[in-house]
Amino acid sequence: MKGNGEAQKAGEGAVARRLKINVLRYNPQDPESRPHLQTFEVDEAPSMTLFVALNDIRDRQDPSLQFDFVCRAGICGSCAMLIDGRPGLACRTLTSSLGEQITLAPLPFFELIGDLSVNTGKWMRGMSERLEAWIHTSEEVDVRRLEERMEPELAEQIYELERCIECGCCLAACGTARMRENFVGAVGLNKIARLRLDPRDQRADADYYELIGDDNGVFGCMSLLGCQDVCPKDLDLQTQIAYMRRKMLRAAVFPSR
């Protein structure tokens, strides 16, 4: 027969548990700091997310614990981390979907700020600048054109790619990104795919190819598919990358078509 404590439900039907959360701690600013796992115990609550558990730890056990969040709703991308070795969003991960022992580490690939906090913003900015990932129009274009209506189907296609929240999970899961420091990753290739669709961007295909037609772009991707597996927005990244690669190869072989 179950006791009162055991009868309490956590999340979707699971019995309340005492979670052991192992966090990889390291502060690169502190010369004394050494990377180590620190274990915190947290009582699981119904519908608890990892974000809530981490706040609980910071509020009650260790105010020095570093991790990022802004929206708590899977929109800003700032709470991405390695959750039991897999990139994901802390604010969208229910503790009930994980075991009683949970291991958290910062996303690899990005500059570490401290503990679970990494500087994705700096990398994303640099990548956007390299790819000139903004709408290019000629000076003569009436700015009102930027507000022009477009076909709903096209707007929907663009919107689908715009759902990327720049969380960095795709890069953390990508073998090519580990080997090539300047690889723009699925997030960068997705940006170009989105701009190619946008009629307000007046660049020709050749201009895009100039930006991503090398080993740091579409030809660096080895179709490892980690990006698509972990993307919290379920973007169809592989189809976009494969499509651009095919188009570029065709343009190289048949330049006049």
**Residues near ligand FES (CB under 6 A):** 69-72, 74-79, 89, 91
- The residue among 77 and 226 lying less far from ligand F3S, judged by its C-beta, is 226
Tell me: does residue 89 bind ligand SF4 (CB under 6 A). Answer: no
- Please select the residue that binds ligand SF4; options are 107, 186, 212, 248, rule is CB under 6 A: 186
- Please select the residue that binds ligand SF4; options are 105, 169, 184, 211, rule is CB under 6 A: 169
Structure tokens at 241: 């990358």
SS3 173: coil
Binding mask 109-148 for ligand SF4 (x = CB under 6 A): ----------------------------------------
Structure tokens at 256: 């006049």
Interface with ligand F3S (CB under 6 A), residue total: 14
- The residue among 170 and 248 lying less far from ligand FES, judged by its C-beta, is 170
- The residue among 21 and 244 lying less far from ligand FES, judged by its C-beta, is 21
Tell me: does residue 81 bind ligand SF4 (CB under 6 A). Answer: no
CA distance 49 to 53: 6
Contact partner, 166, from ligand F3S, ligand FES, ligand SF4, none, Cβ < 5-8 Å per class: ligand SF4
Contact partner, 222, from ligand SF4, ligand F3S, ligand FES, none, Cβ < 5-8 Å per class: ligand F3S
Contact partner, 226, from ligand SF4, ligand FES, ligand F3S, none, Cβ < 5-8 Å per class: ligand F3S
Tell me: does residue 226 bind ligand F3S (CB under 6 A). Answer: yes
- Taking Cα atoms as reference points, which of 166, 204, 214, 163 lies closest to residue 186? 166
Cα four-point dihedral sign 113, 115, 121, 123: positive
Query: What beta strand segments (E) does 131-189 contain?
Result: none
Report how many helices (DSSP H) and strands (DSSP E) the chain contains, helices first: 10, 9
68 Cβ contact partners less than 8 Å away, ≥ 6 residues apart: 78, 79, 116, 117, 118
Q: How far is CA 80 from CA 3, 216, 237, in A?
A: 37, 23, 18
For 28, list phi and psi in degrees, rounded to 5: -65, -15
Binding mask 219-248 for ligand SF4 (x = CB under 6 A): ------------xxx-x-x-----------
How many C-beta atoms surround the C-beta of residue 135 within 10 A?
A: 14
Binding residues among 151-210 for ligand F3S as defined by CB under 6 A: 173-174, 176, 185-186
Query: What beta strand segments (E) does 55-199 contain?
Result: 80-83, 86-89, 101-105, 112-114, 117-118
Q: Give, as one character, the DSSP assignment of residue 98.
A: S
Which residues are near ligand F3S by CB under 6 A? 173-174, 176, 185-186, 221-227, 238, 241
Which residues are near ligand SF4 by CB under 6 A? 164-170, 186-187, 190, 231-233, 235, 237
